[in-house]
Structure 1
Amino acid sequence: MAKGRVIIDETICKGCELCVSVCPKHILKLSETKTNSAGYSPAEMISDDCIACTSCAKMCPDCAITVEKFD
């Protein structure tokens, strides 16, 4: 059961994959279908198994990630 959700601001994500590399549940990947106005493929959630650890948000150099924790 998901404990949270990753919210990615696609307009500022630079597709660096740092969030993808630190996610312990492997629920993030770079989009294969979207690009933002700067031409980057933003990260996206590919599974609902988020444990709300916030590793992705802490690692993001552009502060493009927010983790919403469920009660």
Structure 2
Amino acid sequence: MNKVDIVSKYCKGCGYCINFCPKKLLKMGNERNMKGHFFPYIEQVEKCIGCQNCVTICPEGAIEFYKEAQDNG
């Protein structure tokens, strides 16, 4: 399964990640970070296709992507 982490303390709330997600899984949240910026969250992470557009487009490097190993046991 794919895992997307938004590192809220680095986010400036530009919304690029939201606009560039082909599955439209990222939404702007209601909370503000320490700098006063709203930051996104991911809905339905299980639907993430792993394209990493959000990681690539983020000018602040505030998004981290991981592929979690599946437990086949």
Higher helix share: 2
Match of 2:21 among 9, 12, 23: 23
Shift of 1:5: 1.6
Cα distance in structure 2, aligned partners of 1:52 and 1:69: 8
More strand by share: 2
SS in 1 for 2:18: helix
How many residue pairs align between the two structures? 68
* TM-score using structure 1 length: 0.87
Residue 64 (structure 1) shift: 0.4
Counterparts of 1:40 and 1:4 in 2: how far apart (Å)? Answer: 26
Larger radius of gyration: 2
Runs of 5+ consecutive residues of structure 1 not aligned to the other structure: none
Q: Which runs of 5+ in 2 are unaligned?
A: none
Identical counterparts, % of pairs? 34
What is the Cα-based RMSD across aligned positions, in Å? 1.1
Task: Spell out structure 1 runs of 4+ moving beyond 2 A.
Answer: none
Give secondary structure in 1 for the equivalent of 2:8. Answer: coil
- Distance, in Å, in 1 between the alignment partners of 2:67 and 2:49 is 8
